Structure 1
Amino acid sequence: MLRTLLSAATAVLFSLTMLSAQESEIPDMVQGNADAKVEIIEYASYTCPHCASFHASAYKDIKKDYIDTGKVKFVYREVYFDRFGLWSSMMARCAGPDRFFGVTDLLYKEQSTWARAGDPAAIVAELRKVGLKSGMTEETLDACFNDADKAQSLVAWYQENAERDNVRSTPSFLINGEPYSNMNYADFSAIIEEKLAE
């Protein structure tokens, strides 16, 4: 099973097959007020240390001050620069929309453990531990990691997003459609306040 997962996910990640976004039907993972005046889209990879740092710092304040208060709609879109980022995304999405951001937090908190576990089999074993810790079952994890169709759809979805929004690094952001690179909370807050005042 593990060998199947590793070869299937690797083949999918580097496949030249493209699906349209309509065919892939991958939903955005969203927090906050859907009708908020300000929309922040984050493009991030679960294997990116800068993304983990953003989620441990600025994101927490943005969530408290703007997402939880209904001022910002926050959209999280995964980036797949490697197969490990794809596998962790598949697992987070298998947890479902209600638990997605909780699993995301856990993946970033434990990134230094699972992402640097060694060979692919060791990384999958560590990802499974994160999944189990988040409340997922072994059966759910098996089904999730072996869903080659979902993996292919996710890769196609990422490729379309990256091409459309010119995503070249992580984390990167669109705030009301305008591109921004990573920044500290004070800079985020200033931009958000400016957009809210428009």
Structure 2
Amino acid sequence: MSFDLRHILSASLFSAALAMPGFAQEATTDTDAAETASEAEAGTGDAAAETAEVEPLDDIFLGDDSAPLTIYEYASFTCPHCASFHVETFPKLKAEYIDTGKVRFAQRDVYFDQVGLWAGILARCDEDKFYPVSDMLLSEQEDWMGAENGEELVENLRKIGAKAGMTSEQIDACWEDEARVERLVATFQQNATADEIQATPTFMIGGEQVPNQSWEDMKAVIEEKLADAGGSDDAEDADAGSDEGEATGSAN
């Protein structure tokens, strides 16, 4: 899923997020969408300056802090390719690299639209529950996004929050927290701009931008980066062989 960062600006996204409950109950017309895009393009410079002044939120990591390799995934909760990666590939990444201490992982939100931002606010409502909520948003994407209208969509998001142990009052408070929303938008824009992200999912693996691809191809990149960092199985086997050789030589 591709996007043009110039058209996703803090002013328009921030305003849309603040109007969330009311906006969600009314269909957006094509004219409204066109006007929003036009206003966003016109305000590119001002919006970029505004977000640069807002302190971004910290990444939320999975895995060992001392892992030799860090991977960032840029993902949108409304992106079907992101949902596919989450269901089909992420479990392999987690089992083989994150849970084994080789990779430290962080998911970074990308907001294509108001709905994606609303979902992102929900996911960050309780940062201790970010990954469980993210898991539900992505694995159940077709269900909650299959709402027939905005009101039903909001209720679907509330149900996901409830399954994570959030109350309706807590969810509303997060959606209405203007300062928090502003920081979420600024965090997205600053990170995506710095890493030149143009599509989701996109990965930063050891500082290198890697597009969405098959697990085997991604695994090859990970192994290469781990070898460079001295943290791959091959590197460990080589070190073990070297140590063994040295021990044998000493014994002789």
Partner of 2:101: 70
1:54 aligned residue: 85
1:148 Cα shift?
A: 2.1
- 2:216 maps to what in 1? 186
Q: Which whole-Å deviations, capped at 9, do the CAs of 1:57-104 have from their partners, x for residues lacking one?
A: 1110000110011100101100001111111111111122x3211111
8 Å CA contact retained: 2:70, 2:206: yes
C-alpha distance in 2, partners of 1:49/1:57? 12
Residues 80 and 86 in structure 1, CA contact (< 8 A), matched pair in contact too: yes
Q: Which moves more between the two structures, 112-121 or 85-94?
A: 112-121
| Higher relative contact order, structure no. (Cα contacts within 8 Å, ≥ 6 residues apart) | 1
Matches within 5 A, 1:140-159: 140-159=170-189
8 Å CA contact 2:62, 2:104 repeated in 1? yes
- Relative to structure 1, the CA distance from residue 102 to residue 3 in structure 2 (aligned partners, 3 Å threshold; closer, same or farther) is closer
Compared CA separation, residues 7 and 38, structure 1 to 2 (3 A): same
- 1:110-136 CA-partner distances (Å, limit 9, x unpaired): 111222313332221110011101111
Q: Does 1:41 align with 2:72?
A: yes
Determine the C-alpha separation between the residues in 1 that align with 2:143 and 2:175. Answer: 19
* Pairwise CA distance, 1:4: 4.1
Query: Aligned ranges for residues 54-133 of structure 1 at < 5 Å?
Result: 54-96=85-127, 98-133=128-163
The CA distance in 2 between the partners of 1:71 and 1:20, in whole Å, is 33
Q: Give the TM-score normalised by structure 2.
A: 0.70
* Ranges in structure 2 where 5+ consecutive residues have no aligned partner: 1-16, 29-35, 229-252
Q: Which residue of 2 aligns with 1:20?
A: 52
What letter corresponds to residue 193 of structure 2 in structure 1?
A: E
Which residue identity lines up with residue 31 of structure 1 in the other structure? L
Do the aligned partners of 1:38 and 1:73 also contact (CA within 8 Å) in 2? yes
In 2 relative to 1, CA 8–122 (structure 1 residues): closer, same or farther, beyond 3 Å? closer
Answer yes or no: is the 8 Å Cα contact 1:8–1:148 preserved in 2. no
The 3 A distance-change label for structure 1 pair 114 and 136 is same
The corresponding residue for 2:242 is none
Query: Unpaired segments of 5 or more residues in structure 1?
Result: none
1:95/1:103 contact within 8 Å kept: no
Q: Which residue, out of 142, 166, 171, partners 1:136?
A: 166
Matched residues in 2 for 1:67 and 1:183: separation? 19
Contact 2:62/2:106, CA 8 A, preserved across alignment: yes
1:7 Cα deviation from its structure 2 partner: 6.1
Calculate the TM-score normalised by the size of structure 1: 0.89
> Matched residue of 2:122: which SS?
helix
After superposition, the Cα gap between the structure-2 partners of 1:80 and 1:20, relative to the gap in structure 1 and judged at 3 Å, is same
Identity %: 44
Deviation at 1:19, TM superposition (A): 2.5
Residue equivalent to 2:8: none
Q: Deviations over 1:30-54 (max 9, x none)?
A: 1111221111110000000000000
Higher deviation after alignment, 64-73 or 112-121: 112-121
Decide which of 62, 67, 80 is 1:31's aligned counterpart.
62
Q: CA RMSD in A?
A: 2.3
Quote the offset at 1:3 in angstroms.
Answer: 8.8
Report the counterpart of residue 5 of structure 1 in structure 2: 20
Q: Does 1:162 align with 2:177?
A: no
Higher Cα radius of gyration: 2
